[in-house]
Chains A and B, each alone.
Chain A
């Protein structure tokens, strides 16, 4: 899931005070085109976190760091902290901190990046679903009956249908990751992924997003059918009216002809 990553120099000044000297910042570009700023705090191998130098203070420091740094793309999701068997992970959209033994850091950062990619994409899809659902009430009447005055909205409705299908498609691709069953026997990476998915309610959010996208898809699919029916009806009606007009004019010609014959005689 990681596209590119690079270590931030400590001089960047964004590493909070009080952390071990080898703490570093890593900026990871996720597959969902979001950036994840990751604070990595290595602990000596072999400790369980409990015997690390001031583990409580370190976790408090990284949690505060995640809570304080304001990022434009952060959402209303709170900072999530996961104490995890000798490790400690803090996450919020766009930002994360990993505290753990050196030998586990790669496992944790990979798992965290995978999760963040999945969550980030879901969050983007949720926003697209919100935008779609916001128009549902306005467009719902067209799913029942499409009227001539709505012809100018045909392109808009078609665009929304395409958007709903696209969102549904992305959600379908995301489903295996969002609904991944717990792994047994567990690994540290699987445990981190499961807990983050659980704490961010990823599965439920995915289901809600699917429901919304499905609602929009069904609506705009129905709109499309109504539009198609309307178009067919319009073409048929136009032909009928054209015949009516021709018949009326022919009748008028006949009437005038009859009247003029009466005048002549």
Chain B
């Protein structure tokens, strides 16, 4: 996948990418999650010469929140983190979808319409009419019309970019929900989107809330997963990288070094080490980012402002259970249902897409305040609690549990990606103008999705390659031109 520029460009880039001593620029990527891996992938794709690329990962595995694990009692996988990938291709080109195809990974579309409220399934307007009468149906339809008027599929697609429409950032989401005059319809919408929001309607923007509602419309977005585990995507990317990957290497501090370099201090096992890099890319979730110390005053100030702007934590709780037999087919062949328990929970039937499954796998995705509150429960108590929430079609699964696992993703995602006011994309990724070799990458800069991380990584990778091609301090407009020339 290496791009091959014409020979003249190659020479220019080779000359400028190498320093006076002939050594290649050293690039450090801090974080081995999707952001770090995607950044490394794009850097290796875009650059014309091999970079000295180092990935620091604090844990023993790569992939971050995209994590697939196996049950102990059966060789069956379950999703610990992201249970689904988003497909924007109904609207426009979806780089993530293309990457998955490029890596040769199989995909299967998933969907689900049923929202269980008070034990009653609401899967369509007819059901909503039955439950809440004509007013519920009318109020919901009006909300849907308002939502789609406020955010077109194109707005939805561009929501993380500098071209995003006003609706994306306009006020809090709660007033928009309050406009639904019927309580049952309001509850239906609440439950439908709560687990995706991973926060409460009052804690996020109208734009982000609308995004999480409109993602249920196939005209805006569709869902898919990778059979065998979504982590295969991360493994496929990591397996194709030439970068030096250092596992169990937690970066503790970032500062400035000699000759404009950046100085990294990190802990590798029991040892405390330090290295200088020309470029440092921070690809960490917000809670991990806050634990990094910045020894340079200006950089520390910039990062403090960056964190203050973007720190809107949202929370997840994943409970996965293995059943001794396949799960009954959900009505409508759905792969998940929404439950009104815990403020709104998504229950995935992870085994639904496998017609040869010998066991059933259920996964609860609990988000928002409930996730924080329940995180303090013991695993057994948590499992018992979620089993109580099983909807009528799956009620029989309660007595068939063989094994259960709980994973707490407290503070792991953003409730308000991009912050209350959207910063320019360049500003989001380079918090300090004084430190031209320092970048950040993250889903919280875009839309809290894997697609957003990929966009963020591509943006920074292109910038880094262009910086080294044309010299430091290049302005964004110049950088764009330099990137084009480099490519």
A and B directly contacting (CB within 8 A): yes
Interface residues of A, Cβ cutoff 8 Å to B: 46, 48-51, 82-86, 104, 107, 181-182, 184-188, 190-191, 195
Tell me the complex Cα distance, A182–B332, Å: 14
**Residue in contact with B333 in the complex, picked from A49, A104, A107, A195, CB distance below 8 Å:** A195
Apart from A181-B219, A184-B217, A191-B123, list 14 A-B contacts with CB within 8 A.
A48-B121, A48-B331, A83-B330, A84-B332, A85-B114, A85-B123, A85-B124, A185-B125, A185-B140, A185-B144, A188-B123, A188-B126, A190-B124, A191-B113
Classify the secondary structure of A's interface with B.
Answer: loop
- The reply to whether B141 and A191 form a contact with Cβ atoms under 8 Å apart is no
- With A181-B218, A182-B219 as known contacts, state yes or no: A187 contacts B333, CB within 8 Å: no
Residues in chain A near residue B135, CB distance under 8 A = none
5 A-B interface contacts by CB (under 8 A): A83-B332, A185-B141, A186-B113, A187-B126, A191-B123
Query: Nearest chain-A residue to B330 (Cβ)?
Result: A83
Residues in chain B near residue A85, CB distance under 8 A = 113-114, 121, 123-124, 127, 331-332
Interface 1/0s, chain B 196-210, versus A by CB < 8 A?
000000000000000
Interface 1/0s, chain B 216-239, versus A by CB < 8 A?
111100000000000000000000
Query: Nearest chain-B residue to A184 (Cβ)?
Result: B217
Tell me the complex Cα distance, A91–B374, Å: 45
- The reply to whether B219 and A104 form a contact with Cβ atoms under 8 Å apart is no
Tell me the complex Cα distance, A217–B217, Å: 37
Closest beta carbon of chain A to B334's beta carbon, Å: 9
Tell me the complex Cα distance, A84–B123, Å: 9
Query: Nearest chain-A residue to B144 (Cβ)?
Result: A185
- The reply to whether B331 and A186 form a contact with Cβ atoms under 8 Å apart is no
Closest beta carbon of chain A to B103's beta carbon, Å: 24
Residues in chain A near residue B329, CB distance under 8 A = 83
- The reply to whether B331 and A86 form a contact with Cβ atoms under 8 Å apart is yes
- The reply to whether A182 and B124 form a contact with Cβ atoms under 8 Å apart is no
Residues in chain A near residue B392, CB distance under 8 A = 48, 50-51
- The reply to whether B331 and A104 form a contact with Cβ atoms under 8 Å apart is no
**Residue in contact with A182 in the complex, picked from B120, B127, B218, B333, CB distance below 8 Å:** B218
- The reply to whether B331 and A84 form a contact with Cβ atoms under 8 Å apart is yes
Residues in chain A near residue B219, CB distance under 8 A = 181-182, 184
Residue B393, interface by CB 8 Å:
yes
Residues in chain A near residue B333, CB distance under 8 A = 82-83, 195
Interface 1/0s, chain B 322-333, versus A by CB < 8 A?
000000011111
Closest 5 CB pairs of A and B: A184-B217, A85-B123, A182-B218, A188-B126, A85-B331
Query: Nearest chain-A residue to B329 (Cβ)?
Result: A83
- The reply to whether A188 and B127 form a contact with Cβ atoms under 8 Å apart is yes
Residues in chain B near residue A50, CB distance under 8 A = 392-393
Chain B interfacial residues counted at CB < 8 A: 24
Residues in chain B near residue A182, CB distance under 8 A = 218-219
**Residue in contact with A184 in the complex, picked from B123, B127, B218, CB distance below 8 Å:** B218
Tell me the complex Cα distance, A51–B333, Å: 19
**Residue in contact with A185 in the complex, picked from B124, B130, B330, B332, CB distance below 8 Å:** B124
Closest beta carbon of chain B to A243's beta carbon, Å: 63
- The reply to whether B120 and A107 form a contact with Cβ atoms under 8 Å apart is no
**Residue in contact with B124 in the complex, picked from A48, A82, A83, A188, CB distance below 8 Å:** A188
Closest beta carbon of chain A to B110's beta carbon, Å: 13
- The reply to whether B216 and A187 form a contact with Cβ atoms under 8 Å apart is no
- The reply to whether A104 and B126 form a contact with Cβ atoms under 8 Å apart is yes
Query: Nearest chain-A residue to B122 (Cβ)?
Result: A85
Tell me the complex Cα distance, A181–B331, Å: 21
Tell me the complex Cα distance, A89–B229, Å: 32
Closest beta carbon of chain A to B402's beta carbon, Å: 24
Tell me the complex Cα distance, A184–B140, Å: 11
- The reply to whether B217 and A191 form a contact with Cβ atoms under 8 Å apart is no
**Residue in contact with B332 in the complex, picked from A107, A181, A195, CB distance below 8 Å:** A195
Residues in chain B near residue A185, CB distance under 8 A = 124-125, 140-141, 144
Closest beta carbon of chain B to A131's beta carbon, Å: 34
Residues in chain A near residue B140, CB distance under 8 A = 185
**Residue in contact with A187 in the complex, picked from B121, B124, B330, CB distance below 8 Å:** B124
Tell me the complex Cα distance, A190–B126, Å: 11
Residues in chain A near residue B126, CB distance under 8 A = 104, 107, 187-188
Closest beta carbon of chain B to A48's beta carbon, Å: 6
Residues in chain B near residue A184, CB distance under 8 A = 144, 216-219
Residues in chain B near residue A104, CB distance under 8 A = 126
Closest beta carbon of chain B to A227's beta carbon, Å: 44
Tell me the complex Cα distance, A86–B123, Å: 10
Closest beta carbon of chain B to A201's beta carbon, Å: 13
Closest beta carbon of chain B to A93's beta carbon, Å: 20
Residues in chain A near residue B217, CB distance under 8 A = 184
**Residue in contact with B331 in the complex, picked from A46, A51, A83, A107, CB distance below 8 Å:** A83
Tell me the complex Cα distance, A107–B127, Å: 13
Residues in chain B near residue A84, CB distance under 8 A = 331-332
Residues in chain A near residue B124, CB distance under 8 A = 85, 185-188, 190-191
Closest beta carbon of chain B to A52's beta carbon, Å: 12
Tell me the complex Cα distance, A25–B218, Å: 35
The residues in B between 174 and 216 inclusive whose CB is less than 8 angstroms from any CB of A are 216
- The reply to whether A186 and B141 form a contact with Cβ atoms under 8 Å apart is no
Residues in chain A near residue B114, CB distance under 8 A = 85
Query: Nearest chain-A residue to B111 (Cβ)?
Result: A182
- The reply to whether B332 and A191 form a contact with Cβ atoms under 8 Å apart is yes
